[in-house]
Amino acid sequence: MQITTSIPVVLATALCCLPPITELYAAELTGRVALLGLLSETPKGAAINRNTLSANQQSLRLMLASDSDQDEWSIHLRASRIQSNGFSAERRTARDLFRYRQLAGSVLEHASNNHEAQLTYEIDRAVYQRHFSGSTLSIGRQPIDWGSGRFWQPFNVFGAFAPTVLDTDYKAGIDTLVYDWYPSPFSSLTAVYAFAPDDNDTHSNSTALYYRQPAVEQSEIAFIVGEVVDNRLWGASVESEWAGVGWRVEGVYFDQPQPAQDGLFWIAGLDYQFENGTLLNLEWYDNTLGSGSQSSLTPRHSSLLLQNGLQQHLSRQVLGVGLSKDLTPLLQGSYSLLLSPLRDDQNERHVSSLHQFNALYSLSDESDLLVSFQLTLGKGLNSSGVPQSEFGHQPANIILRWRLYF
């Protein structure tokens, strides 16, 4: 599904579709402020002469948007100031694979003795959307969010939130041209053309088609086909309900050229809400591109898909369990458990686990406070700094976050 196009042509097309300048004055400005603090242990097995690591972050997101019957546009500017003590705050993500230009920058304020302070800023979204009869065309930096999984979504081929991520309000935008066609009120076909970085020499632009429609009563089926980061892929999903239990199966088959390797990534899950309001989520993750043994973790660790978050786990299989409940009208509690088995050189199975406890308290309609605690069990890093389990090497940590919308 290779398509060659010219960036200037695409940008010229977008400029021709821009709304009149008078609409700028009718745009709505909103925002979000968030303060986050982190205390963490040293990764288990890491050769670092300190027991506690810390970081704090202050972030601001400004959102300017306008919409009408025929078109809409939005721009998100995000700025963060990060201070860290004992580790680097930098992390590669899937968005780095699908942004033609970063439109971002950073200022290193201070760095010495494992202490670092840095100010970063970026245009996280900048998209224009035009509505037609039965279809929509959008171009610019926008999020692509597909799939029905609660912990993992194989259909999210342009990047997904990890199951332990706390801030899922805004998915990062990627540089894309998107066309949505609605053949019926409950079905849609989406075509995506995503741009690789202009200074990239490791992969081409990406394309994907995603179709979804209702099946029998309370059921939905979906299909996907494409070529993303030079990996050809196709998949299907079904989501339904039976006797009060929601269930889903979603899978994507990858034909990976470098290295030449095929793989199937699929999940199966169940949802059930008890009479007291407790919601239970169960989900099984199986990715044949992952590792089944401790000895094979080393080569997997250098994978481009893993480093950028398109493949979220080192190991092949993971079980996710989630419980959530409104404890009071203002307080919500949740617990997540991730379990992953790996075999050692003696073919014995070892299971590592991650436990995450969250308490979210609503301070007002526009503000809340989150406290999160994470604990892991299992084998840590080996003497070479390579993980020996999926979760065991990850440190215990506690996070405190306050956010305000305006």
Instruction: Find the angle CA(342)-CA(346)-CA(351) to the nearest 5 degrees.
Output: 25
Q: Would you give the distance in Å from CA 12 to the centre of its chain?
A: 31
DSSP state of 381: B
- What is the pLDDT at residue 372? 98
Look up the pTM and report it: 0.89
Residue 17 has pLDDT above 50, yes or no: no
CB 14 within 8 A of CB 193: no
Closest CA to 246 of 266, 267, 223, 269: 269
- What is the pLDDT at residue 23? 54
Q: In angstroms, rounded to a whole number, what is the distance separating the alpha carbons of residues 144 and 158?
A: 7
DSSP 135-187: EEEEEEEE-------SS--TT-TT----TT-S--SSPPPEEEEEEEEEEETTE
Residue 14 has pLDDT above 50, yes or no: no
Residue 122 has pLDDT above 80, yes or no: yes
- What is the pLDDT at residue 1? 44
Phi-psi bin for 385: left (phi > 0), alpha (psi -120 to 50), beta? Answer: left
Q: How confident is the model at residue 12 (pLDDT cuts 50, 70, 90)?
A: very low
Q: How confident is the model at residue 89 (pLDDT cuts 50, 70, 90)?
A: low
DSSP state of 94: G
Q: How confident is the model at residue 329 (pLDDT cuts 50, 70, 90)?
A: very high
The string of pLDDT tens digits covering residues 24-63 is: 557 999 999 999 999 999 888 877 656 678 999 999 999 9
Q: How confident is the model at residue 363 (pLDDT cuts 50, 70, 90)?
A: very high
Residue 2 has pLDDT above 70, yes or no: no
- CA distance to 40, 264, 324, 372, 381, per residue, from 398 (Å): 7, 35, 19, 6, 21
Please give the share of the chain, as a percent, with pLDDT higher than 90: 73
- What is the pLDDT at residue 25? 56
Query: Hey, where are the domains in the chain?
Result: 7-405
- CA distance to 59, 76, 121, 303, per residue, from 106 (Å): 13, 17, 6, 26
Q: Look up residue 263 and give its two tokens.
A: 């793989």
CATH number for the domain formed by residue range(s) 7-405:
2.40.160.10
- What is the pLDDT at residue 328? 97
Tokens 């579709």, located at residue: 17
Mark 117-145 as b/e (b = at least 16 C-beta within 10 Å): bbebbbbbbbbbbbbeeeebbbbbbbbbe
Q: How confident is the model at residue 269 (pLDDT cuts 50, 70, 90)?
A: very high
Average pLDDT of every residue of the chain: 89
The string of pLDDT tens digits covering residues 197-212 is: 998 777 899 999 999 9
- What is the pLDDT at residue 63? 98
List, in sequence order, every beta strand (DSSP E) within 215-366: 220-228, 231-242, 245-256, 261-273, 279-287, 317-326, 331-343, 349-364
Please state which of the ranges 132-141, 155-164, 287-296 shows the lowest mean pLDDT.
Answer: 287-296
The string of pLDDT tens digits covering residues 172-195 is: 999 999 999 999 989 999 999 999
Q: In angstroms, rounded to a whole number, what is the distance separating the alpha carbons of residues 362 and 369?
A: 6
Q: Look up residue 357 and give its two tokens.
A: 């406890």
The string of pLDDT tens digits covering residues 370-402 is: 999 999 999 998 888 888 999 999 999 999 999
The string of pLDDT tens digits covering residues 335-344 is: 999 999 999 9
Residue 9 has pLDDT above 70, yes or no: no
